[in-house]
Structure 1
Amino acid sequence: MLPWELLATATAPEGDTLRLFRRGEEYSIRLSDGNELMNSRLGGSEEALATLAFDKLAGRTAPRVLIGGLGMGFTLRAAQAVAPEGGRLVVSEIVPELVDWARGPMAPVFGDCLSDPRIEIRVGDVATEIRAAPGGFDAILLDVDNGPGGLTRAGNDTLYGERGLQTAHAALAPGGVLAIWSAHQDEAFTRRLGRCGFEARAHMVRAGRTKRGSRHTVWIARRAVR
């Protein structure tokens, strides 16, 4: 078996070291303790984050969508595939090196997707983007950290607590969708979404693209039309 090759490192805002590895055509981003955050072979659940959200946006010819977290681009590319020509996809990524990796060592994974004129990449905290745009988005897709538990940034808890969810609710247009990816189930979080004004459902989706393997959770939470 081919050995893993270290391609690059980056420092997350709270000091954690992210490491990009490659083995043949497979890529992996891990924390310094070895915990894998993402793998180029396992993007099925991140793709479902986009497709399930866009299912709820049917009929909108120019949806404005905020994607929190660039990662390996699975959510972004899935959104591109289903977004109408008039749509706009704003990607907020807090680690600038990940944007550089997408155009550099991970270019074989991203292809030419970043050249799509519908896409805008913004380096910064997605929570700031949400607060700055009341009523400004038709959908907010959060693929940030490992979900509501907040693994790499304690600040991610501000996205998933009641105050953060209420801010996301205010940032959505009527009938807009908040979609959240998580590595784990969390029934209490489903109830929290309900308390914050969302009609929410948790979907169990495969991590990979086959009918086998581990499952992740995607919440689809809709703001009422009125």
Structure 2
Amino acid sequence: MKPRLTLAEATLPDGTVIGLHEHDGRKYLQQGSVQLAGPVTRASERELGRIACQPFRPARQPMIWITGMGLGEILAGVMETLPQKKATYLIGEPWTMLPEWHRQFLPESPAITDPRVQIGPRADATAFHEYQEVLHAVLIHADTSPLDSNGRSLFEDRRWLAAVHGALQPGGLLGIASSRPVPQIERNLARAGFEVVRHEIDASPNARRPRRHFLWLARKGKSGE
């Protein structure tokens, strides 16, 4: 049996420990006993980036916001779909150790090496105040993104949804992925002014028993709609 290696650890403000681990060549993030980004979320993170960005392939200068850095899988899906040289990829990541872990243990990560990527320390509602109607898409994976001060997913906060709605261009998309159903999410997104479509993602494409993750695409209506 191959051993699990602990590459780095840090203590979060709530006292829990987050670590970057490696087992059998695969890296993953774990907070306490819960695995965050890693093999179990990789496929749905990539699909979130691909599917939510597909409508913006014609854009000359797409601007995409990713909530939570993780191990860079959402960003990889985004860049695969939107490779434009004048694209801007914004990452809101309050866990300041993650960029440093990318530099140390993921040196080829485009989050660190690609000049189109901008990493900021905020992911809450205030982070969007400077982006009024300029973002093409905002992406968040419930399993890998930072939580709010009450330990909830950010998209469960009406103020966060309102801020995202204001930051998106007309026709822009909020893409939310999760490994489990989220109660009342479609109603909450509709109340925030979005038109919502629900999809399911195969989170284990090579497994005998498929594992489904969920994806919601929430569209901000165009002017006059």
> Which of the five TM-score ranges fits, normalised by the shorter chain?
0.7 to 0.9
- 1:216 matched to 2:199? The reply is no
The root-mean-square deviation of aligned C-alpha atoms, in Å, is 2.3
Q: Which residue identity does 2:115 align to in structure 1?
A: P
Change (3 A) 1:155 1:117: same
Q: Secondary structure at the match of 1:104?
A: helix
> Following TM superposition, by how much is the alpha carbon of 1:177 offset from its aligned partner in structure 2, in angstroms?
0.7
> Following TM superposition, by how much is the alpha carbon of 1:193 offset from its aligned partner in structure 2, in angstroms?
0.6
Q: Which residue identity does 1:142 align to in structure 2?
A: I
Change (3 A) 1:197 1:138: same
Show structure 1 runs of 4+ deviating over 6 A: none
Aligned mates of 1:67, 1:111 — CA distance in 2 = 15
> Following TM superposition, by how much is the alpha carbon of 1:85 offset from its aligned partner in structure 2, in angstroms?
2.1
Aligned mates of 2:11, 2:134 — CA distance in 1 = 31
Q: Secondary structure at the match of 2:186?
A: helix
- 1:123 matched to 2:121? The reply is yes
> Following TM superposition, by how much is the alpha carbon of 1:14 offset from its aligned partner in structure 2, in angstroms?
3.3
Equivalence for 1:175: 171
User: Given the two structures, how large is their TM-score scaled by the length of structure 2?
Assistant: 0.87
Change (3 A) 1:163 1:116: same
Which residues of structure 1 form unaligned runs of 5+? none
Q: Secondary structure at the match of 1:166?
A: helix
Equivalence for 1:200: 196
**Number of aligned positions between the proteins:** 221
Aligned mates of 1:41, 1:103 — CA distance in 2 = 23
Equivalence for 1:139: 137
Equivalence for 2:71: 72
Aligned mates of 2:129, 2:60 — CA distance in 1 = 24
Change (3 A) 1:135 1:38: same
| Kept in 2: contact 1:40–1:72 (CA 8 A) | no
Equivalence for 1:166: 162
Change (3 A) 1:157 1:36: closer
Aligned mates of 2:120, 2:17 — CA distance in 1 = 21
Deviation digits for residues 184-223 of structure 1, max 9, x if unmatched?
1125101111111111112111223436432211211110
Aligned mates of 2:57, 2:206 — CA distance in 1 = 26
Aligned mates of 2:153, 2:114 — CA distance in 1 = 32
Change (3 A) 1:120 1:209: farther
| Kept in 1: contact 2:9–2:20 (CA 8 A) | yes
Q: Secondary structure at the match of 1:2?
A: coil
Aligned mates of 1:172, 1:40 — CA distance in 2 = 30
Aligned mates of 1:89, 1:17 — CA distance in 2 = 28
Q: Which residue identity does 1:5 align to in structure 2?
A: L
> Following TM superposition, by how much is the alpha carbon of 1:52 offset from its aligned partner in structure 2, in angstroms?
1.0
Equivalence for 1:54: 53
Equivalence for 2:104: 104
Aligned mates of 1:189, 1:47 — CA distance in 2 = 21
| Kept in 1: contact 2:126–2:163 (CA 8 A) | no
- 1:186 matched to 2:182? The reply is yes
Q: Percent identity?
A: 27
